[in-house]
Structure 1
């Protein structure tokens, strides 16, 4: 069976399947492919005359054929009559499906379309039962341009396969064409989406003949989508324009999650599970990939996929609403430094709850067991029939467990294979993200397959599991100092004699057997410090740091060193302070490190590149009402004709924070001669406050201590004079 890694759709309806072979990519041309969507009554009670609708569709010039078939319109529904519509080109599916609402004469809401909004290559693989996993290793070529080159219609600098070329357009184009012909890559990895159209514009403008990146002589490239801005979970994102290059998969580093968070091995692992080819997998979101895996399971069960989901929430009493509207269980952390701490984690808690408790949209609150109270507190029933979501997730859980075991075996070898480790870690990371998303996706209103009752049930089970673990650990002689959703931190209870305290590993095994989900010993720490909330004595749920026992390593969460906007200099100083804190447990040594950093700041000896801040732009320049540093940076970018869209990052150095104009900052590509030392001193103090706040120190006390150190140094200097 052919296993094409890329599929191209030509204007005349032909399809090209590209298969990777030891001798290079080989195309197979398919003359006829007619994508299919379905039209049916939204519910069994709706009276729809499919024959009349069929007659109208058959008159449309873009419709190849129609037929009435039987399919399931949901996991809870039996086979029903639906109208299947075959289309002459994949680009016409959505338009023709939309016309179903215009051709009919039925009340709004009676009609529904299915299998409409699939991505092109995924649809082709699904309908033709094709596995797009490449049979041979794919070759890659990287093209990147600096941000200063992205504003114009031509490039004066371009990096090709790690080698930077500068000069006139003809030289740049020659370098790219030579690399393409020499390496003949299967995948083009670009730093920005506009590289492809810009290179072709350069070739046209300069009259360079024969320039092409395509493997198919009839088509240079195709634009699949224009750039756009979107919002997701309160975050603004930017989706660049998407392009297709016949015969080559394209990965846009400015628009890829899985390639950026894992690697090509992680991408390919998900290709094999989702049947979504490399190019589409690279730009897809976590939810998009999870959806395609679920669509594959639905397809195997003969269930169609709704274009727009319309799952109503089941009726429930007001008291149940109150009980259900809760998240995972949290034990507020005890602010301060705790010695001899162990961290225990439930392995893939939410996915394992789904699989061990059979929580799935098609079986939750089933009619056949409506008198049962299976879900704790909420009283929802769960059918005995295996839910489809279990079949989706269990293979992923098992695969990740096997990969993690292989990673441990490789790490324990005397001479571990680094390439093998990189592959395994990429695959493990990709699967982790799918498992992370599967829970929240159940409560997502636009999910193709999801149900809020599943989301509520998973949380209810999770709360019960964490409470049961807490109670058993405490009865075994361990004190819980923090717990959040699937993790719990314990330290020996000082009121229990060592001889009476139960072995932690044995307790974890017992809890595992009781709740049917593995409780793993994640780490042992010499000490852990839980950070208070700013302007409050209460513990911050996700801010802590600790020294890993028997290792020269810290585990850090939530503080500046983990924040993507933190400049490298601030990060390094905070790490130095952590080391001083570990070595002495004395605030004085931490203040000494801070004082040394502040002295270097004001002496102007800190390298400019170590002071770069990177922040995400959340809205267009005109959308801001405050003169923030981001606004100043955006003004500078606009002044230099650099396009920075909402959802993208902007990098700058603060040069004068007292100003409100664009002179407040300088962009990283500019010649920067100075910086605002007072601003960065404030950032340093904030970072050191995170380290010392578990001991009760705040910024006021840190500043007072700094002033005393400076006064002592000045006095000593005066005495010497």
Structure 2
């Protein structure tokens, strides 16, 4: 089975299969990608014969035929025009011409199976499984941030060894390592390494340098870099490159490889039919879409080029009720002893599967009189929805993997490699299950439907309220609950002998709602943090000490934020340990005071003060003189290209300034830092720790000032004596 597939400019396809000592290529010249054209509306009668005749005269069209396909899950088989083209690059341009070539009104026609990625399309249409049968070998190429914008590298890391010197020295070393290891996968810190090395070879006159396994092609550029916006966040997509015979994983442009590992990537390769390279750069939604497309393909359903599903009519009252999200209980601010956390296992995916929530069966015509969705009055057909067939195997597989992880950890001598494999696969499947709910409300989803999104939320609200009521009836007090998790502590007004066993209650709730309620954790204590400038509880900010363990669960506070400098994270975690040991704010303040002294003494290593922030726009797009702006100015001065959506790392050296002197980039030689700025950040972090006990930053500053004054008076008296 090929692990990577290359498409040459002349139309030939290379299937690369990994073997024990390298890889072999199978060459094909008979592949013709296909797209479809049919009526957008099932009630529109369209004669496709004239359009077929137009396409048959096109030089890039290999063949056409009229076939019977389903243009949607809610539609029956209909006549569709299948168009086979001579090259992948011609699919989209030819599909665009459908409306120009046809005599029918623009809105009457629709194209299907158009915008697939290259490798995925090939595997889908040829029934090719891209799951490798042999273990894939990897090799990492990396360059430091100071080299990323250069035309010629002075330093490069290959297979863990740093290489410096002339272009010829670097190229010779890289070529030798490539020939020795012959990797199936090149893991690159940035994909720009590929063209840069080849340009270096051209400039240095090194004619025989190549990363490729195919003698005729060194590399191909698949896409240019771009900036995008997703759910209000700016992202950066680097340029993508292909090296024949090897899969490229770009560490700056991979979600699944970064969040899991190669085993997690390969698990999803087998489920999505996306080859390793495409899976590595794909988003969660992209992979979920591929899995759904595979299910649609098996059912003879075509995939729309553009989503045009209208929202079903609903009364104003229903519209209001449907717009609610999952149920959330306001957390009780403060520190709570003896807390248990209960979680519904994969709540939203299991709602989809147990309640048969799927775009093709929600609000069906055959059961329109039924009120299947609580509070919304939506019906759900008795026929099994396609989304259930997509998600149930993933839910079952993850349950099996989690059970295997528990068994492996219970062994006296667990196999760490086996654990890493299982945890990688479990993590990859978790992200697919996390995304399946939001996908239903995504406007560009190929098969989503907003009514599914609304129905899932409605079921989730009912389930959480049912669990709350049953837990309280059993003698437990709910201190927080959010969508699929609920935190409880023994109700002090209920005697121990009258309180039901929590495991027994969880089992009873599981049987009642048909979704497993699991005991996630027992905490010695949990602290729920208030919102800043408010006494109300912050919904997703809390921390707690796991019972019988040295582990802390932290959510929402500074130690969990990617922008927090390591020094501040370490101090905050140290303060949590002191709070656990003493339950006293004084010990936390002593820790803070010592940290502030270290800051002002200049003894904190600057690498422990590095902040990492995402750049949301080009330098010219900023109106305020923020730290990011100062960092971008420094980067530009050093010819470092930082694009919107990418991270920039810096140390604040003088926060009072507004120029580029306000910060220093992390890779620079930094002699000093702004101790007062980092003191403020420390106090904010400690406020998060003490705020559940009623302290705010003003209280903290006042206590620090009084302590400082007391120490000064004591020192003066001792000196006089």
Looking at structure 1, the residues matched to 45 and 364 of structure 2 have their Cα atoms a distance apart, in angstroms, of 26
Q: How does 1:389-428 map to 2 (within 5 A)?
A: 389-428=387-426
Looking at structure 2, the residues matched to 548 and 109 of structure 1 have their Cα atoms a distance apart, in angstroms, of 59
In the TM superposition, what is the alpha-carbon distance from 1:104 to its structure 2 partner? 1.4
The corresponding residue for 2:99 is 101
- Which of 466, 469, 477 pairs up with 1:468? 466
The corresponding residue for 1:145 is 143
Looking at structure 2, the residues matched to 483 and 639 of structure 1 have their Cα atoms a distance apart, in angstroms, of 50
Q: How many residues align?
A: 719
- Is 1:297 the equivalent of 2:272? no
- Which of 631, 642, 645 pairs up with 1:644? 642
The corresponding residue for 1:311 is 309
Looking at structure 2, the residues matched to 426 and 110 of structure 1 have their Cα atoms a distance apart, in angstroms, of 46
Q: How does 1:311-350 map to 2 (within 5 A)?
A: 311-350=309-348
In the TM superposition, what is the alpha-carbon distance from 1:107 to its structure 2 partner? 1.6
Looking at structure 2, the residues matched to 525 and 354 of structure 1 have their Cα atoms a distance apart, in angstroms, of 31
What do residues 112-171 of structure 1 show as CA deviations (whole Å, max 9, x unaligned)? 000000000000000000110000000000000001011210000000011001111111
TM, length-normalised to structure 2: 0.99
In the TM superposition, what is the alpha-carbon distance from 1:45 to its structure 2 partner? 1.9
What do residues 168-215 of structure 1 show as CA deviations (whole Å, max 9, x unaligned)? 111110111011100000000000121000000100001012000000
What do residues 58-87 of structure 1 show as CA deviations (whole Å, max 9, x unaligned)? 110000000000000001100000000000
Q: What is the root-mean-square deviation of aligned Cα atoms in Å? A: 0.5
In the TM superposition, what is the alpha-carbon distance from 1:370 to its structure 2 partner? 0.5
- Which of 571, 574, 590 pairs up with 1:573? 571
- Which of 498, 501, 507 pairs up with 1:503? 501
In the TM superposition, what is the alpha-carbon distance from 1:314 to its structure 2 partner? 0.6
Looking at structure 1, the residues matched to 308 and 511 of structure 2 have their Cα atoms a distance apart, in angstroms, of 39
Looking at structure 2, the residues matched to 108 and 694 of structure 1 have their Cα atoms a distance apart, in angstroms, of 61
In the TM superposition, what is the alpha-carbon distance from 1:48 to its structure 2 partner? 2.1
Looking at structure 1, the residues matched to 682 and 135 of structure 2 have their Cα atoms a distance apart, in angstroms, of 47
SS of the residue corresponding to residue 253 of structure 2 reads: coil
Q: How does 1:135-534 map to 2 (within 5 A)?
A: 135-534=133-532
In the TM superposition, what is the alpha-carbon distance from 1:601 to its structure 2 partner? 0.2
The corresponding residue for 1:546 is 544
In the TM superposition, what is the alpha-carbon distance from 1:18 to its structure 2 partner? 0.2
* 294-303 vs 48-57, greater mean Cα deviation: 48-57
In the TM superposition, what is the alpha-carbon distance from 1:43 to its structure 2 partner? 1.0
Looking at structure 2, the residues matched to 448 and 622 of structure 1 have their Cα atoms a distance apart, in angstroms, of 36
In the TM superposition, what is the alpha-carbon distance from 1:49 to its structure 2 partner? 2.1
The corresponding residue for 1:611 is 609
Looking at structure 2, the residues matched to 434 and 60 of structure 1 have their Cα atoms a distance apart, in angstroms, of 41
Looking at structure 2, the residues matched to 31 and 65 of structure 1 have their Cα atoms a distance apart, in angstroms, of 15
- Which of 584, 587, 591 pairs up with 2:585? 587
- Is 1:17 the equivalent of 2:51? no
- Which of 656, 660, 663 pairs up with 2:661? 663
Uncovered stretches (5+) of structure 2, i.e. residues with no partner:
none
What do residues 480-514 of structure 1 show as CA deviations (whole Å, max 9, x unaligned)? 00000000000000000000000000000000000
What do residues 401-438 of structure 1 show as CA deviations (whole Å, max 9, x unaligned)? 00000000000000000000000000000000000000
SS of the residue corresponding to residue 18 of structure 1 reads: strand
Looking at structure 2, the residues matched to 332 and 105 of structure 1 have their Cα atoms a distance apart, in angstroms, of 60
- Which of 89, 92, 106 pairs up with 1:91? 89
Looking at structure 1, the residues matched to 646 and 191 of structure 2 have their Cα atoms a distance apart, in angstroms, of 13
Looking at structure 2, the residues matched to 705 and 280 of structure 1 have their Cα atoms a distance apart, in angstroms, of 56
SS of the residue corresponding to residue 250 of structure 1 reads: strand
In the TM superposition, what is the alpha-carbon distance from 1:533 to its structure 2 partner? 0.1
The corresponding residue for 1:26 is 24
In the TM superposition, what is the alpha-carbon distance from 1:717 to its structure 2 partner? 1.5
- Which of 126, 129, 145 pairs up with 1:128? 126
In the TM superposition, what is the alpha-carbon distance from 1:709 to its structure 2 partner? 1.2
Looking at structure 1, the residues matched to 310 and 199 of structure 2 have their Cα atoms a distance apart, in angstroms, of 51
In the TM superposition, what is the alpha-carbon distance from 1:522 to its structure 2 partner? 0.2
- Is 1:69 the equivalent of 2:70? no
Uncovered stretches (5+) of structure 1, i.e. residues with no partner:
none
Runs of 4+ aligned structure 1 residues displaced above 3 Å come to none
Looking at structure 2, the residues matched to 20 and 180 of structure 1 have their Cα atoms a distance apart, in angstroms, of 16
What do residues 637-667 of structure 1 show as CA deviations (whole Å, max 9, x unaligned)? 0111100001100000000000000000000
